[in-house]
Chain A
Amino acid sequence: MLAQQSNEDLPRRQYESGLSFLQGQRYAEALKDFQAVIDSFPRSQVADNALLQVALYHLDVAHDLTSTQTAVDQLLKVYPDSDSAPMAHVIGGRVSMSKGRTPSDVDAAVASFERVERLFPGNDAVPAAGFYAGEALRLVRRHDEALERFRRVSASYPNSPWAASANLAAGYCLVQSDRAPVALAEVQRVRQMQPQTSMATDAININSILYRLYVRAPGQPAFAFSGRFVGDERANFGDVIGVTVDRANRLLLGHKAGIAVFDAKGTLTATVAANEPSAFFVDEAGRIVFARQSALHTEKAASIPVSVPQPAPKPARPVEEIPSVVALSTGQRIVVDKKEKAVIRVGATGQYLGPFVSAINTERLATNTLDDVAMIDKDSKGITVVDREGRPLSKILPKGANYQFDEPVDLVFDQLGHLYVLDRGKAAVYVFGPKNRLITTFTLAEKSPGAFTRARSIGLDAAGRIYIFDERVKRIQVYQ
């Protein structure tokens, strides 16, 4: 017994060391520890856990599907009955999900998730598998089926963190199924079951959006000026190229001198210097990437030129004007090639991956959690929405029931998939829901506080607060 304890002691400590490095985001060190456990103590009780951590790292941090699959395969082959095996099946399903969204990809992913409950009926990974099965279906817009999966998780494992995730995702599905009011109570349950967690914060954010759009509106305006401004009037931000709120809840304002970074309270915390950038976005690692003169620039990193290959012997054509760029969850960048009236797709390292949308005069892109990309068509003044392969999904016509675009200048999705279109000409924000139905219009009288008569750009935070940069006010105004 003592011998067994001492045999287990070293691998366990090394495994815990790896976890500690992982928590501190020192991934290389963490991987060294985990690999040492796997190689030196393959019979220890934590060897399977180490392999699982390696798989999770490759999937969630390195986005390396091949290495993830290798680790999962090794785990399931060597430790098929271990504590980690159920979660390995879950990761295997997630790999299938990440590979693509064809029906066969989805079926493979769902099958992998369903396998967990069949093989390990009482394991903690079962609710995780149930949640990801719902996610696989949600990502391909099978909302009713996804909703059923999410509800099954929250009904079967109400105390599990996965139930909270499922409740949040169920909220999304309900919105997409035009049952947004039902989502309120379902999302609120997360705050009851998992208070003091990040998911409780997610829940209040989602319900804040739902409240404004479905409870306060239409009887009352969905938004009101908060009286709050971000940025100093004297800063004289000129030629603003965009406003965005990243996942860390930082508010970023791109202008001719760079990117100003504000914290959640509106205090300027940093500025990324750039000479007349044309666009910017925040990448997967939270780094600010801006476009300038045919290249994507990242602070403290080499610039990535963006060009389109030409038939030989012509050299590749640099994309000279990039008025907008967004990043998809796959790591691909969707770049507007203004000169060519096209949108192209490039890799995270700048390699050209192909055309995305052609023959469109656009300067503004927005993307949502499904990697759909919405773009303002300057010629038609309408909105075109395509999927992550660039295939058309829908169009919002310049004129529809209860609205008519005059000069749409910016657009943004909230986390529930509502599309907010900023119309400078109308000094209004139009909010479109599922099937591009107009849910509400927000505008303020010209003389009233917070009016945005010369709006330039719009951003949204996680709670659905609107941030509009108005060239007359020269600051960002906050609406809630």
Chain B
Amino acid sequence: MNEYIITASFIAAILIAGFLLLVNFGVTIVTYFGIGLVAVSIAGGVIYTWWKTAKDKTIEKFKLETLSKMREEFNKTSNYVNEAAELVDVKDDREGLGALREGFIKLGLFDEKFESIAKGIGKHTLTFIEQQTRKGEQRLRSLETLTAGTYKPELDKYAQGLHIRLMKLYESGYPLENGLKDFEGVQNRIPKSLIEMIEKKKTISNLFSAMLMKCYGEAEALLNLAGTYGDVSRAEGDIRMAKERAGDIDAYTSLLASARNRLKEILGPAFIKRRSILLSALQRTMELLGDDIDGLKGSIEEILSKVSATTDPGRLEELMELENNFKNNLVLLLAKLNDDLLRVESEITAFGPTKDLWARDDGIGMLLEKADPSTEISAFTEEAIVALGRAVNQYRNDIMFKKVVENFGKMEPIIERKLKEHGRLSGADLRVKYAEKFLQYYSTKHPEVEFREKPPVLLARSHVLGRTRVEGGP
């Protein structure tokens, strides 16, 4: 606002002064006054701009920021190029970087070591500095692109090489499924710039190292386990040599693979025997359970599928874990079956069936207790399977009988009516499931009828007597 007032006042003063000069001294003087005024304005403007620029620190700050950023970019590219040197020859790229650095130093923008910004940059305008840094950045990008062009095929070869070695270890039985999946995920990623390529290389190298460490750990653990099954000296030698030649990836992976193959051979017979016993126990359990027993059948099924998939003797420890799982789950299943039996049996008992019709198997509880998961698999299986067989049979029998007693209320009048009509009733006449049991149960509730087992038939006593009389008649 003040500036406007000053300007307006200044123009008004000039006009008043011009008018007074015109009135007092004439046109000539006023002309000189006008020309002088214009000259003074131009000189004043120039002086003011110079003074204002010299006074403004923002420009200096911009210059410093621009140059710092430039140096940072240069160092980054320089680092990438150095990292790329692990796989490709970067002599030309380094020369290009050197030339660029020298150029900046020559222009007086940086000190001679390219470590800090030169002190005399005040003599350069901001525009000049911006032009130079823009050129520099373009040069850096083009150097990166050139490096990436040669780096990419080498990186692919490198990743492929690591993958081949990992596959060798995997094929020898090391559990690398998940690690390989991660590795392949990164391997298949297509990088778009040198930076991304460098990052990809770092990631696959890290994944590879982690898997090698895992394999080494596994080999040592397997060595300890196999020691009790045979002579492991050759495998031990392989592992020791691998450690000694850790820098040589090829040798390292080959030795680890060889060690594992040797250990597999040692563990093989024990593994096959154990697996076969476990598989047989699992299959027998599944057969006994059938489709009608729920509960923990799912867990046994899961273990069976895991054991079926475990074919590598090097996984003996895993197999032993599955064996323990099986034993624990079977014990749980037996306990649940026992609970179910007790529940169903108490429901049946409420109906008061006679002993010749239904009886609980009192020996099952004791059999179930005998199945001790801390015993060896064969002994455990024999005990558990016997207990399971008895319990399952009793459970099926109980469920069947429970259905009979629960539905008897509906069946009773039907049986009664049919008996009244025909005097006798066979299972086939009844047209229900468990017809024989219904007839037998009916006979226990109705002393006026008799149940004959072979063939199952219910006879009204009057009918029996009548026929006997006829048969025994004269």
Q: Do A and B bind each other?
A: no
